[in-house]
């Protein structure tokens, strides 16, 4: 699965000012990311505001994205939820044309036990026509996929190929990296700690900040894959303030602000999310002028 070594980007979903999906903006974003040298894209993960898209909208975005990407880079679909039966039905009916894997977050809100999380992913693995990447993000789901559960799934289901880890729990990371199968992919899902996660043996990142700065982020990840930690440290430190600003008033509002300033798409988000304050927008603009001065449009 070398396609998932390197930088993946959890793409935003651009909207017009009236809240409708902006397909021209989405095309611009896809071209921006491919030109920026990323290895793969994730369509309708959490960053894509999938929770506020209807089923028809999700299908349209997936189809449009696959058509525009046209197999030039890897492509992953985000399909998850807290109703296992419904998730399985979505996965069974998903049009896999153009896609390489499914990213599926652990169930939110219900707060299942580890056995419940295992059974949820078992049902997905038994019905999926594409490889599965687990997604552990306790800050959003309210529960943690333990290292033991991840390793159990990795050993029992060959089509569960990796995990996007965004727990920030290095005790969990240590145990997971010690016990996982050798070919199971450990992927950073948390931009601020991609560098130390890759130092533990991670194969790359599924990034939010990569929407705005794909070249800078993918260059850093390649340095890490090549064990050039001195070069990677410099790139990491350059991105620290920009990364902080991306999450100061929530994601993806921060990165959509950056994308508007880069002239790629608008900054509209759907409620209950709101756009960032002028103070934060101005701070983002100042950082962008340092990191991508030629690209900034506004």
Exactly one of 99, 164, 180, 260 is catalytic; name it: 164
Q: Which residues contact 260 (CB under 8 A, 6 or more apart)?
A: 266, 267, 298
Active site residue 122: no
Of 245, 259, 298, 252, nearest in space to 274 by CA = 252
Cα distances (Å, whole numbers) of residue 125 to 87, 148, 159 = 11, 17, 7
Exactly one of 135, 180, 256, 260 is catalytic; name it: 135
Cα distances (Å, whole numbers) of residue 250 to 35, 108, 254, 256, 274 = 27, 18, 6, 11, 9
Phi first, then psi: give them for residue 71, nearest 5 degrees: 65, 20
Cis peptide before 272 (omega within 30 of 0): yes
Active site residue 155: no
Which residues are tagged catalytic?
135, 164
């Amino acid at each position: 699965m070398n396609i998932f070594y390197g930088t993946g980007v959890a793409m935003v979903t651009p909207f017009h000012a009236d809240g409708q999906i902006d397909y021209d903006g989405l095309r611009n974003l896809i071209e921006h990311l491919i030109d920026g040298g990323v290895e793969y894209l994730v369509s309708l993960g959490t960053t894509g505001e999938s929770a506020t898209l209807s089923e028809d909208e999700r299908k349209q975005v997936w189809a449009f994205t696959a058509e525009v990407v046209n197999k030039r880079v890897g492509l992953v679909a985000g399909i998850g939820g807290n109703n296992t039966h419904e998730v399985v039905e979505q996965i069974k009916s998903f049009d896999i044309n153009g896609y390489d894997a499914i990213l599926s977050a652990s169930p939110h809100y219900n707060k299942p036990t580890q056995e419940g999380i295992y059974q949820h992913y078992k049902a997905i693995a038994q019905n999926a026509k594409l490889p599965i990447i687990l997604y552990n993000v306790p800050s959003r789901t309210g529960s943690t996929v333990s290292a033991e559960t991840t390793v159990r799934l990795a050993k029992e289901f060959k089509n569960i190929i990796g995990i996007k880890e965004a727990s920030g729990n290095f005790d969990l990371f240590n145990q997971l990296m010690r016990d996982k199968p050798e070919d199971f992919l450990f992927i950073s899902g948390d931009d601020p700690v991609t560098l130390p996660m890759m130092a533990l043996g991670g194969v790359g990142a599924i990034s939010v900040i990569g929407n705005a700065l794909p070249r800078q982020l993918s260059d850093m990840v390649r340095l890490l894959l090549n064990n050039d930690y001195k070069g990677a440290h410099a790139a990491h430190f350059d991105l620290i303030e920009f990364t902080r600003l991306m999450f100061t008033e929530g994601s993806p509002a921060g990165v959509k602000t950056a994308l508007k300033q880069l002239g790629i798409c608008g900054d509209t988000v759907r409620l209950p999310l709101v756009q960032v304050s002028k103070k934060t927008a101005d701070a983002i603009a100042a950082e962008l002028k340092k990191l991508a001065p030629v690209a900034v449009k506004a």
